[in-house]
Structure formats: C-alpha cells, structure tokens
C-alpha cells in the first residue's frame, strides 16, 4: 500500500516578500561592513553585483569607491535575487520544515548551498570580479541570510 504525503504551501502574501527583503538586508549589511573592515571597500559588494551588467566595473580595484549607478543596480539585483530565492524557499523547502528551528536550519543550509553554487559555478562565469570578496565572509553572510530567511518565513506563515 502506497502512502502519500502532502505539504501545505503558503498562500502568497507580502509577508513572504518581506522575508526575502529583510534577509537581503542582513546579508548586504554584513557583507558591506566586513568588506570595508578587510579593505575591499564598503561599496564593493553592491558594485561587484552591478558588474554583472555594467561590464566596465569588472576592472574596478579595491578599495571600491562609491559609484551611484553601480550601487543602485547592485542593490536592486541583490534584493531581487533575495526575494526570488526567498519565494523558492517559502514554497518548496519551508513547508517540509514545520518548526521555527527546522526552518532556521533549513534556511541556513539553503543559504550555504546558494553560496556554493554562486561561488564555484555562477560567479566565475558571469561576474568574476565578485570573487575579490572575502570567501569566508561571503559564506557566513549567506548562512546568516538563510537563518534570517527561515526565521522570518516561519513568522510569515504562522497561523494566527
């Protein structure tokens, strides 16, 4: 006799968007502050993200100076990706992790997996200048992103 299990998916709400946005702020501020401390420059993470489309920024040197278009595009790209990955988490992963701790752990693992794929597959191909960031800081930032995502997603989907 076969058994099937179903997982309840959350209905779309602004709260699910908030989870991705807040998690993006956690990662973004961590990365910007720590990269400034280690000497790459406060603006380096967002300018490096913008270098995906503004190819002239692929040759920027550290410490990275403020670049208005680079900062705006980098922030938009970072937050957009965080919302997209946050929604993927909310609909595909979080329903399987019912408790707060379960969602936090699932989020942290999800963040680390995203880091690994980005660092070793995507960035070398589409945005190699981003590999100038400190890999360990980037890894910890993605783990923190996932922790925040899991915790906020749990709040966003909790039954009232």
Any domain includes 124: yes
- Please check whether residue 26 lies inside any domain of the structure: yes
8 in a structural domain: no
pLDDT of residue 4: 60
Instruction: Convert the pLDDT of each residue in 122-152 to its tens digit.
Output: 999 999 999 999 999 999 999 999 999 999 9
Q: How confident is the model at residue 57 (pLDDT cuts 50, 70, 90)?
A: very high
Residue 78 has pLDDT above 80, yes or no: yes
Residue 35 lies in a domain: yes
pLDDT band at 6 (very low <50, low <70, confident <90, very high): low
The pLDDT value recorded for residue 53 is 96
Tally the domains of the chain.
Answer: 1
Query: What is each CA distance from 119 to 25, 87, 134, 155, in whole angstroms?
Result: 20, 21, 11, 30
Is pLDDT above 60 for 160?
Answer: no
Residue 9 lies in a domain: no
Measure the CA–CA gap between 133 and 101, rounded to whole angstroms.
Answer: 30
Q: Is 2 among the domain residues?
A: no
Between these two residues, 26 and 9, which has the higher pLDDT value? 26
Per-residue confidence (pLDDT) for residue 9, from 0 to 100? 63
Residue range of the domain that includes 55: 14-157
Residue 3 forms part of a structural domain: no
Reply yes or no on whether the pLDDT at 5 is more than 70. Answer: no
Residue 121 lies in a domain: yes
**pLDDT band at 15; cut points 50, 70, 90:** confident
What gap in Å lies between CA 45 and CA 154, rounded to an integer? 28
Report the share of the chain in percent with pLDDT over 90. Answer: 86
């Amino acid at each position: 006799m076969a058994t099937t299990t179903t997982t309840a998916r959350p209905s779309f709400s602004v709260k699910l968007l908030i989870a991705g946005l807040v998690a993006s702020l956690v990662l973004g501020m961590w990365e910007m502050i720590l990269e400034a401390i280690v000497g790459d420059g406060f603006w380096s993470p967002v300018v490096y993200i913008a270098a995906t489309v503004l190819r002239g920024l692929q040759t920027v040197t550290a410490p990275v100076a403020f670049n208005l278009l680079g900062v705006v595009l980098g922030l938009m790209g970072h937050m957009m990706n965080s919302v997209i990955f946050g929604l993927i988490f909310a609909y595909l992963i979080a329903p399987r992790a019912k408790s707060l701790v379960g969602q936090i752990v699932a989020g942290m693992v999800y963040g680390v997996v995203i880091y690994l794929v980005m660092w070793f597959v995507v960035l070398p191909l589409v945005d190699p200048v981003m590999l100038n960031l400190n890999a360990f800081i980037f890894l910890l930032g993605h783990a923190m992103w996932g922790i925040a995502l899991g915790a906020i997603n749990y709040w966003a989907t909790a039954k009232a």
